[in-house]
Every structure is written in structure tokens, then in C-alpha cells.
């Protein structure tokens, strides 16, 4: 005879109750269920693997750079709470960052992004992500520390730009890429793409790679080998 505990988010209460009942019927175990409130943003959106814009801990699913950007782009009202939950900073330092107002709140977001990324991917990757973001957004130059996807030179010529964005992980499908093209949101080497049937060629390679951008915040390098 023994006991067991099932833990999960509050949205899993039904599954946990069913598990407790199944265990009671099949085994001589005393089962307990424990849930905790889901983490939500200030606007009420759920943070989870099924939520739009979900973030993954595995670097193969979300690069350290994109993970950094995820926290950098959080809502202003969430910064203090997320610093307490997702970093190891002292409460005094968090209080200082929480007090920042206006444009300075962006400095607190950068600290959140760097510290949260360092906990998951290590300090070196966090610093690389922060440096890449600074180069891309503040200095207006390309950084080689942007997320990179390798492509053989033989596959480049004639590759549709829409397919390249899919390959780089910036969009989920060719259809999504075409919708972004129609909205003027896709750029190759910082030049807007207007033709959904446009293709890439060796002429697009700059210093061994092609910069792909979705809007102002999502970037990747297509490195030609």
C-alpha cells in the first residue's frame, strides 16, 4: 500500500481527477491531485505549449536568439513579475528594474531576456543573443549570431523566397509566407519582397549568407555552403 501525487496546471484538473479515479479502481494506491494556476500575461493570455507564439526550451525548436527575443518582447506590465519568476536576480535589483518608466522599461526587458536565456542556454549564448539583437536593431547591421540555417549552394538557385522562409523557420508554410509578402512584411537582405514567386540566386549572397527578415523582430541567416 502506498500513495502517489499527480501535479499539473489548473487546466489539467479534469485529467488529474480521472487519473485518480482510474488509479483507485485498478491499484491499492491512495492518489492525490495538485494543481497550480497557469502563468498568464498581463493581458490574460495563457503561456503554454499550445498557445500562439509558444516558446520551447529545446534549442532545436527555439534558438537561444529567439528565446531571448521572446522575453524581450513581453508586455511592459509583466516585466517585474517575470523577473521574479524566471531569473535569479536579487529582489533589490528587480525592484530597481521595476521602477523604470517610459522607454527605460526596455532596459529592464533586455535584462529579463538575458538572464532568462542564461538560465536555460548558458551565459555565453545569452550574451551572443543580446549582442546579435543590439547589432540588428540598434546598430542596423547584420550579426553572424542570428539564427542560421545551412543550405547547399546547389539548392539555392531557383529556390523560392517563400520556401526559403519556411526552411529558415520564420514561417510555417508557403501560404503563410505569401500572406506576409502580400502585406509587405518579408525582406531579403533588408529589401522588401513584393513577388510571391520570386526566387533566390547566388547574387543574393552577402558574405556567405542571405539575411531573411519577417517584420522588424524576426531574422535568420541562410548560410550557403
| b/e map 144-167, b = 16+ CB within 10 Å | ebbbebebeeeebeebbbbebbbb
Q: Find the range with the poorest average confidence among 5-14, 95-104, 111-120, 161-170.
A: 5-14
The model's confidence at residue 40, banded by pLDDT at 50, 70 and 90, is confident
d(CA 185, CA 34): 45
Statement: residue 15 has pLDDT above 80: yes
Confidence of residue 49 (pLDDT cuts 50, 70, 90): low
- Residue 180 φ then ψ, to 5°: -70, -35
Whose CA is closest to 132, among 69, 86, 187? 69
Q: Is the pLDDT of residue 50 over 90?
A: no
- By CB atoms closer than 10 A (0-12, 13-18, 19+), residue 59 is middle
Find residue 206's DSSP bridge partners.
209
What is the pTM assigned to this prediction? Answer: 0.66
> What pLDDT does 132 receive?
86
189-203 mean pLDDT: 90
pLDDT over 60 at 65, yes or no: yes
State the average pLDDT over residues 125-149.
80
| pLDDT surpasses 50 at 1 | no
How much of the chain, in percent, has pLDDT values that exceed 70?
92
* Cβ–Cβ under 8 Å, residues 160 and 198: yes
Q: What is the pLDDT of the chain when averaged over all its residues?
A: 86
Mean pLDDT calculated for residue range 134-155: 77
Query: Is 162:153 a contact under the CB 8 Å cutoff?
Result: no
Residues 12-37: what's their mean pLDDT?
83
Q: What is the mean pLDDT of residues 73-86?
A: 93
Tell me what pLDDT residue 169 has.
87
Amino acid at each position: 500500500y502506498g500513495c502517489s501525487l499527480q501535479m499539473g496546471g489548473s487546466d489539467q484538473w479534469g485529467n488529474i481527477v480521472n487519473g485518480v479515479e482510474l488509479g483507485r479502481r485498478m491499484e491499492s494506491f491512495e492518489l492525490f491531485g495538485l494543481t497550480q494556476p497557469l502563468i498568464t500575461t498581463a493581458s490574460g493570455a495563457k503561456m503554454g505549449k499550445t498557445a500562439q507564439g509558444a516558446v520551447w526550451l529545446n534549442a532545436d525548436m527555439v534558438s537561444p536568439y529567439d528565446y531571448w527575443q521572446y522575453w524581450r518582447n513581453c508586455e511592459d506590465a509583466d516585466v517585474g513579475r517575470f523577473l521574479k519568476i524566471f531569473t535569479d536576480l536579487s529582489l533589490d535589483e528587480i525592484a530597481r528594474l521595476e521602477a523604470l518608466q517610459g522607454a527605460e522599461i526596455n532596459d529592464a526587458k533586455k535584462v529579463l531576456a538575458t538572464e532568462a536565456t542564461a538560465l536555460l542556454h548558458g551565459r555565453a549564448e545569452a550574451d551572443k543573443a543580446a549582442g546579435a539583437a543590439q547589432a540588428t536593431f540598434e546598430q542596423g547591421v547584420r550579426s553572424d549570431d542570428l539564427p542560421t540555417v545551412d543550405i547547399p549552394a546547389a539548392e539555392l538557385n531557383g529556390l523560392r523566397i517563400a520556401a526559403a522562409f519556411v526552411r529558415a523557420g520564420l514561417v510555417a508554410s508557403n501560404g503563410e509566407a505569401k500572406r506576409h509578402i502580400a502585406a509587405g512584411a518579408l525582406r531579403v537582405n533588408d529589401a522588401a519582397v513584393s513577388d510571391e514567386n520570386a526566387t533566390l540566386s547566388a547574387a543574393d549572397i552577402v558574405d556567405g549568407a542571405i539575411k531573411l527578415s519577417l517584420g522588424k523582430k524576426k531574422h535568420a541567416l541562410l548560410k550557403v555552403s
